[in-house]
């Protein structure tokens, strides 16, 4: 018997979700959300990950929020034409109109961080209009002196002085469709995620829960499955070809039938 | 079938303004088929078959159906034996009524109700990929689809059917959820074939050939 079987009964198939962080038309990657370097063209990468069997793709414009830049709707629409899996777009979404524009460009769902902390009503309004399954809240978490967790905004740049769990609970009341936890401390470090944090969030929410930031091996992903996460968000280990989506899935499938394998 | 023949069989996509019809359009475009954007009864009448896509909330979508006059016309369209495919919310719309954010009368082409997934232990919305193990190959829409194939689901409500029609289920955390339905010329999928990768595209290919 393997340990995964008991989770399979209570949860849905686990999702492997590559994340494309985009700045000025380039796919970039940094460490602890700094020291950015150019990796590739986001469109080519999206196609590659689609063909490798990604279950979903997240596209984040990492400066749209900070500089209030307009979205690169051309790139969003180009990617959405090439992939036939859920395409989630985030970065700088501040209003119902932003959501509408991004969905209209071809995204299937949106991912909101700064905009929701500045005005939580956006979650209530958009989940009622577009359906809650359409709205993912991204929480960029940072541990403060190892004493508490705080959600950050503007792609990990600015503090909010809010307790992370208060914020998680509020998003649930407002009708969010999914929580995406991103560890700022782990970003690009390949050290895995804080299991206690994951456990605590999983206990307090009923929505799908995905996590990322610092995943460095398939074992880190298995930890997330065991903790009841519904998906993992990957960037570094895929971008730099440490491991392929196919190999990750094959590896997980060997220990439990809880993942979609694409032949 | 040539591209021209495809185009003569005109497919319409109901655009209620809140549903995302782009992904459906792209799936059809994959087979060089361009669908008509249907927002009123006139546009509906120039179609041989229609797709009711499925993102958004039931109230705003049905509100649009009533005020645009499409609700009545779609029922007639179905009674004429023309083909309708409802996807996700679009499939739920085919039923009698919904309880999402309050009571709502829907198209009543298939008898049944739309209800919230029982939220005792399950993660809601149900978002992710599932196998439909009992998928019957007797249905032309599901030709070349196998029981090992996965489909992408994204919903908080599901169909409770009280009608004589073919259905397939998935098991979501111990609850039976209708994944597909078909009754004569009416088809529905709770999952999104347009977001289910290459396997999902086969369903569009089959739909085009129906």
Average pLDDT of chain B, as a whole number: 87
pLDDT digits (tens, 9 = 90+) for B101-127: 779 999 999 999 999 887 666 788 999
Confidence of residue A128 (pLDDT cuts 50, 70, 90): confident
CA B94 – CA B202 distance, rounded (Å): 23
- Residue A133 distance to chain B (closest CA, Å): 6
The ipTM of this complex is 0.90
Write down the pLDDT at residue B118: 79
> Which residues of chain A have a CB within 8 Å of the CB of B101?
128
Write down the pLDDT at residue B100: 67
Instruction: For B23, name the nearest residue in chain A, comparing CA atoms only.
Output: A106
Minimal Cβ distance to A208: which of B18, B125, B130: B125
CA A107 – CA B170 distance, rounded (Å): 26
For residue B72, the tally of other CB atoms under 10 A from its CB is: 12
Sign of the alpha-carbon torsion through B157, B163, B169, B171:
positive
H or E, element range at A47: helix A42-52
Domain B3-209: state its class.
alpha beta
Q: Are A20 and A48 in contact (CB under 8 A)?
A: no
For residue B122, the tally of other CB atoms under 10 A from its CB is: 17
Which residue of A131, A135, A208, A262 to mutate against B (max B Cβ within 10 Å)?
A131
- pLDDT higher than threshold 80 for residue B138: no
Minimal Cβ distance to B128: which of A13, A84, A206: A13
SS3 call for A119? coil
The 8 Å CB, 24+ separation contacts for B72-80 are B72/B41, B73/B41, B73/B44, B73/B45, B74/B14, B74/B44, B74/B50, B74/B107, B75/B107, B75/B108, B75/B109, B77/B44, B77/B47, B77/B50, B78/B107, B78/B109, B78/B185, B78/B186
Say which residue, A2 or B139, is predicted with more confidence: B139
> Given CB atoms, is A233 within the 8 Å cutoff of chain B?
no
Sign of the alpha-carbon torsion through B37, B43, B49, B53:
positive
Q: Which superfamily is assigned to A5-255 in CATH?
A: Aldolase class I (3.20.20.70)
Q: Inspect the interface and report whether the beta carbons of A128 and B101 lie closer than 8 Å.
A: yes
CA A42 – CA A28 distance, rounded (Å): 9
Measured between its terminal Cα atoms, the distance across chain B in Å is 12
Q: Phi/psi of residue A150, each to 5°?
A: -130, 135
Write down the pLDDT at residue A263: 65
Q: Are A194 and A143 in contact (CB under 8 A)?
A: yes
> Given CB atoms, is B198 within the 8 Å cutoff of chain A?
yes
- pLDDT higher than threshold 50 for residue A103: yes
pLDDT digits (tens, 9 = 90+) for B16-52: 876 567 889 999 999 999 999 999 999 999 899 999 9
CA A259 – CA A55 distance, rounded (Å): 9
CA A10 – CA B98 distance, rounded (Å): 27
> Residue B51: left if φ>0, alpha if ψ -120 to 50, beta else—which one?
beta
Say which residue, A236 or A17, is predicted with more confidence: A17
Write down the pLDDT at residue B1: 47
- pLDDT higher than threshold 80 for residue A4: no
Q: What is the mean pLDDT of residues B126-141?
A: 77
Confidence of residue A126 (pLDDT cuts 50, 70, 90): very high
Per 3-state DSSP, what percentage of chain B is helix, strand, and coil (rounded to 5)? 30, 30, 40
Q: What is the mean pLDDT of residues A112-138?
A: 93
CA A260 – CA B70 distance, rounded (Å): 38
From the number of C-beta atoms within 10 Å of its C-beta (0-12, 13-18, 19+), residue B121 rates as exposed
Q: Which residues of A108-131 are buried (b: 16+ CB within 10 A; e: fewer)?
A: bbbbbbbbbbeebebbbbbbbbbb
Sign of the alpha-carbon torsion through B202, B127, A98, B89:
positive
Write down the pLDDT at residue B58: 85
Helix axes A73-82 and A42-52, enclosed angle (nearest 10):
20
The secondary structure of A210-251 as a DSSP string is EEESS--SHHHHHHHHHTT-SEEEE-HHHHTTSS-HHHHHHH
Nearest alpha carbon to residue A31 among A181, A236, A219, A244 = A236
CA A159 – CA A162 distance, rounded (Å): 8
Q: Pick from A3-17, A63-77, A96-110 the range whose average pLDDT is largest.
A: A96-110
Write down the pLDDT at residue A137: 97
Q: Phi/psi of residue B150, each to 5°?
A: -105, 150
From the number of C-beta atoms within 10 Å of its C-beta (0-12, 13-18, 19+), residue A1 rates as exposed
The catalytically annotated residue of B47, B73, B88, B159 is B88
Confidence of residue B81 (pLDDT cuts 50, 70, 90): very high
Write down the pLDDT at residue B86: 96
Rounded to two decimals, what is the model's pTM?
0.92
What is Dmax (Cα atoms) for chain B? Answer: 52
Confidence of residue A9 (pLDDT cuts 50, 70, 90): very low
The structure tokens 């908080």 sit at B156
Write down the pLDDT at residue B160: 94
Write down the pLDDT at residue B192: 95
Instruction: For B201, name the nearest residue in chain A, comparing CA atoms only.
Output: A84
SS3 call for A190? coil
> Given CB atoms, is B146 within the 8 Å cutoff of chain A?
no
pLDDT digits (tens, 9 = 90+) for A66-100: 666 677 899 999 999 999 999 999 988 999 999 99
Report domain extents, chain B: 3-209
Report domain extents, chain A: 5-255
Average pLDDT of chain A, as a whole number: 89
Write down the pLDDT at residue B38: 93
**Residue B95 gets which letter from DSSP?**
S
């Amino acid at each position: 018997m393997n340990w995964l079987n008991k989770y399979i009964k209570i949860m849905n198939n686990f999702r492997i979700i590559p994340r494309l962080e985009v700045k000025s038309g380039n796919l970039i990657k940094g460490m602890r959300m700094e020291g950015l370097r150019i990796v590739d063209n986001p469109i080519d990468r999206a196609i590659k990950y689609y063909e490798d069997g990604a279950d979903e793709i997240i596209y984040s414009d990492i400066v749209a929020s900070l500089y209030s830049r307009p979205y690169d709707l051309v790139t969003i629409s180009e990617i959405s034409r090439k992939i036939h899996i859920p395409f989630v777009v985030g970065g700088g979404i501040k209003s119902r109109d932003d959501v509408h524009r991004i969905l209209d460009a071809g995204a299937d769902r949106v991912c909101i961080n700064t905009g929701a902390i500045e005005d939580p009503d956006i979650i209530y309004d958009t989940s009622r209009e577009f359906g809650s399954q359409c709205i993912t809240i991204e929480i960029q978490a940072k541990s403060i002196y190892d004493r508490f967790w705080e959600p950050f905004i503007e792609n990990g740049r600015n503090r909010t002085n809010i307790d992370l769990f208060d914020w998680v609970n509020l998003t649930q009341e407002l009708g969010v469709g999914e929580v995406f936890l991103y560890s700022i401390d782990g970003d690009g470090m390949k050290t895995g995620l804080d299991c206690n944090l994951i456990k605590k969030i999983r206990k307090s929410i009923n929505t799908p829960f995905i996590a990322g930031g610092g995943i460095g091996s398939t074992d880190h992903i298995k930890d997330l499955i065991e903790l009841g996460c519904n998906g993992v968000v990957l960037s570094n280990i895929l971008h730099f070809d440490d491991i392929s989506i196919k190999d990750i899935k094959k590896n997980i499938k060997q220990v439990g039938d809880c993942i979609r394998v694409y032949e | 079938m040539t591209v021209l023949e495809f185009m003569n069989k005109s497919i319409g996509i109901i655009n209620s303004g809140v549903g995302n019809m782009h992904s459906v359009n792209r799936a059809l475009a994959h087979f060089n088929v361009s669908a008509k954007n249907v927002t009123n009864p006139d546009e509906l009448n120039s179609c041989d078959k229609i797709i009711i896509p499925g993102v958004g909330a039931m109230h705003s979508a049905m509100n649009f159906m009533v005020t645009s006059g499409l609700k009545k016309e779609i029922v007639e369209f179905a009674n004429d034996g023309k083909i309708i495919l409802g996807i996700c919310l679009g499939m739920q719309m085919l039923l009698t009524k919904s309880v999402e954010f309050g009571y709502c009368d829907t198209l009543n082409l298939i008898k049944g109700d739309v209800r919230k997934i029982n939220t005792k232990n399950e993660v809601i919305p149900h978002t992710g990929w599932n196998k439909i193990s009992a998928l019957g190959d007797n249905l032309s829409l599901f030709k070349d689809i196998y029981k090992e194939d996965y489909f992408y689901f994204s919903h908080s409500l599901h169909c409770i059917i009280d009608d004589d029609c073919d259905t397939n289920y998935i098991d979501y955390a111990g609850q039976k959820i209708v994944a597909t339905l078909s009754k004569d010329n009416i088809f529905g999928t709770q999952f999104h074939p347009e977001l289910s990768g290459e396997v999902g595209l086969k369903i569009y290919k089959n739909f085009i050939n129906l």
